[in-house]
Amino acid sequence: MSALAPITVVLVHRNSVESLSLTLNAFRAQTVATQLLIVDNGSDGVVESSLRSLVEPDTLLAMGRNLGFGPGANVGLRRWLRESAGEWCAIAPHDAIPEPDTLEKILDAVKDRPFVGLVSADVGEPGRPIIEPFLGPIDAPATGTGGFEIADYPHGTLMLVRRRCIEEVGIFDERYFAYCEEAELALRAAAAGWQSGIVRHAMVHNPSISISVERIAYLQHRNTLLMLREHFGRWNAWFRIGMALIQLSIGTVYPPARGLNWSPAGRLKGIRDYILGRYGPPARDVGGD
- Residue 276 is predicted with a pLDDT of 97
- Contact yes or no for 21/91 (Cβ under 8 A): no
Which residues of the chain fall short of a pLDDT of 70?
A: 1-4, 208-210, 252-262
Same domain, 169 and 248: no
- Contact yes or no for 217/270 (Cβ under 8 A): yes
b/e for 112-136, b at 16 or more Cβ within 10 A? eeeebbbbbbbbeeeebbbbeeeeb
Same domain, 137 and 173: yes
Owning domain of residue 101: 7-205
Distance CA 15, CA 193 (A): 38
Q: Which of 205, 235, 264 is the last residue of a domain?
A: 205
- Residue 247 is predicted with a pLDDT of 85
- Residue 258 is predicted with a pLDDT of 46
Reported pTM:
0.93
Distance CA 72, CA 66 (A): 8
Does 284 reside within a domain?
A: no
- Residue 8 is predicted with a pLDDT of 97
- Contact yes or no for 266/215 (Cβ under 8 A): yes
Same domain, 180 and 252: no
CATH number assigned to the domain comprising residue 140? 3.90.550.10
* CA atoms in the 13 A half-sphere facing the CB of 210: 21
Nearest to 125 by CA among 107, 110, 137, 133: 137
- Residue 138 is predicted with a pLDDT of 92
Q: Which of 178, 205, 232 is the last residue of a domain?
A: 205
Distance CA 167, CA 169 (A): 6
